[in-house]
Amino acid sequence: MVEKFKTNAEVIENGDKYLYGNHIRIPLSLESGKDAWVFDKDGNKYLDFIGGIAVNGLGHCHPRIQECLRERAETILHCSNYFYNEPAVQTAKLIVEHSCFDKVLFANSGAEANEGQIKLARKYAKDHGHPERFVVITMKNSFHGRTLATATATGQYGVHRYFEPLPDGFRYAEFNNLESVKALVDEYTCAILTEPVQGEGGVRPATKEFLQGLRELCDEKGILLMFDEVQVGSGRTGKLFAHQYYGVEPDTCSMAKALGSGVPIAAVCARGDAAKVLTPGTHGSTFAGGPLACALAMTTLDVMLNEGVLDNCMKVGEYFRKRAHEVIEKNHPDAVDEIRGLGLINGIQLKKENGQPVVDLCFKDSNVLINNTNGNVLRFIPPLIVNEEEVDIVIDAVDKAMTKLGW
């Protein structure tokens, strides 16, 4: 039997020795969790407003998820896509019945789902008599994944660097600038891909006019409108999909993150002719749509849709922004540019170039876990079951950290 490590320090020491160094890790070994709280190897307790990077939508150790895992362990964990499995069908049915989509294709990660959208768009163009169309327009400051294609689709040089030459077929427009997108559309364009809310790009919601304009543009040109809802889908904004706030229906949409409550699963959702493109042999995955991941996704969606989680997300998200505005305007009016978000994905953009000192002090002084993205945006993506008292703890921790820094 493999011997367990006894302390945080022991895990960290061995982790630095044996794990590949492609992540900058918080010096913390998480041992267990309950709801919005996590506990380290030494028994210390932390309030988790990172949520597995928007993955733990129902928090940690939700009883319905525990029950589902026990049931799966006693039945079947994996079968190939040569067969049907009931959880996959149930999950797809739930998604379709609560969205504008007709079909669901499962994947293992957000990057894979976005890769699937890109492949779908290129084949769609060829199926509809336009073999010359292969270019996907994405947005500057976007994030779509770490595969070579999705990294190239990402509109950030820092994600491209070191991996040139990059695949051809991507152009970058200004987010929330419709004229910028129109200027890039030509005879080679097959699709436009955007996030309704840029997550890694600094928690930037799209405007309704921008998304509606993209829909009209795609209809006019006969190209696909594709949304990346890897981070903001699966209930994160208080609706199953963020685009449901805007009244704009994409042709395809990716989802992942919170969909499986911690087990890797993602999906490409499609409607109309876009739901007919990926025929047998054109796309697939050994693990995608397996009974374990899909059973967890089905359970997750059932809880979100039927047990008040989405209403809580909307209510507590509004409280977060209200409370953040009150504290910042009172104590740090010259330190913050903007507070923005939707549901329970929220960001505080600082006037300083780097928000990491606030993140570090929240961790060290208040046992509160948040993160920093796009340089100077404090990002808050907690479980969707958090309450207002927990929001107060986090806002107080940010206030304390900024006061200590003299901001």
> What is the per-residue pLDDT across 5-32, written as a single tens digit (0 to 9) for each?
999 999 999 999 999 999 989 999 999 9
43 φ, ψ (degrees, to nearest 5): 90, 5
Last residue of a domain, one of 286, 306, 326: 306
Residue 3 scores a pLDDT above 90: no
Mean pLDDT of 221-225: 98
Contact 167, 148 (CB under 8 A): yes
pLDDT band at 167 (very low <50, low <70, confident <90, very high): very high
Instruction: Indicate whether 66 belongs to any domain.
Output: no
Mean pLDDT of 315-338: 97
350 DSSP β-pair partners: 336
Mean pLDDT of 316-337: 97
Tell whether 95 and 43 lie within a shared domain: no
Mean pLDDT of 142-147: 97
Last residue of a domain, one of 306, 321, 353: 306
Instruction: Indicate whether 34 belongs to any domain.
Output: yes
Residue 47 scores a pLDDT above 90: yes
CA dihedral 270, 299, 80, 101 (to 10 degrees): -10
Helix (H) or strand (E) holding 178: helix 178-182
Contact 202, 373 (CB under 8 A): yes
Tell whether 163 and 218 lie within a shared domain: yes
Tell whether 186 and 266 lie within a shared domain: yes
Instruction: Indicate whether 3 belongs to any domain.
Output: no
Q: Tell me what percent of the residues of the chain surpass a pLDDT of 70.
A: 100
What is the average pLDDT score of the chain? 97
Tell whether 109 and 147 lie within a shared domain: yes
Selection from 359, 320, 352 nearest residue 336 by Cα: 352
Instruction: Indicate whether 372 belongs to any domain.
Output: yes
CATH code at position 46:
3.90.1150.10
- If one counts the domains in the chain, the total is 2
Last residue of a domain, one of 253, 285, 306: 306
Q: Tell me what percent of the residues of the chain surpass a pLDDT of 90.
A: 99
Tell whether 298 and 392 lie within a shared domain: no
Mean pLDDT of 182-186: 98
Instruction: Indicate whether 26 belongs to any domain.
Output: yes
Tell whether 363 and 298 lie within a shared domain: no
Tell whether 127 and 194 lie within a shared domain: yes
Tell whether 237 and 341 lie within a shared domain: no
Domain that holds residue 162: 76-306
Please write the tens of the pLDDT for every residue from 281-326.
Answer: 999 999 999 999 999 999 999 999 999 999 999 999 999 999 999 9
Contacts of 258 (CB under 8 A, 6+ apart): 54, 55, 56, 57, 58, 233, 234, 235, 236, 300, 384
Contact 369, 394 (CB under 8 A): no
Least confident of 25-29, 111-115, 356-360, 397-401: 25-29
Identity of residue 192: I
Mean pLDDT of 271-288: 96
Whole-number Å distance between alpha carbons of 177 and 191: 17
Tell whether 390 and 254 lie within a shared domain: no
Contact 57, 304 (CB under 8 A): yes
Q: In what order do the strands lie in the sheet with 252-255?
A: 103-107, 266-270, 252-255, 224-229, 189-194, 135-139, 170-173
Mean pLDDT of 218-228: 98
CATH code at position 255:
3.40.640.10
Pairing mode, if any, of strands 197-198 and 30-34?
unpaired
**What's the predicted TM-score (pTM) here?**
0.96
| b/e map 123-140, b = 16+ CB within 10 Å | bbbeeeebeebbbbbbbb
- Within 10 A of 223 (CB to CB), how many other CB atoms are there? 24
Tell whether 356 and 380 lie within a shared domain: yes
Instruction: Indicate whether 69 belongs to any domain.
Output: no
pLDDT score, position 61:
97
Whole-number Å distance between alpha carbons of 128 and 240: 31
Whole-number Å distance between alpha carbons of 361 and 397: 8
Tell whether 343 and 197 lie within a shared domain: no
Instruction: Indicate whether 398 belongs to any domain.
Output: yes
Mean pLDDT of 146-161: 96
pLDDT band at 41 (very low <50, low <70, confident <90, very high): very high
pLDDT score, position 165:
95
Mean pLDDT of 212-237: 97
Whole-number Å distance between alpha carbons of 268 and 270: 7
pLDDT score, position 211:
98
Tell whether 391 and 314 lie within a shared domain: yes
Instruction: Indicate whether 159 belongs to any domain.
Output: yes
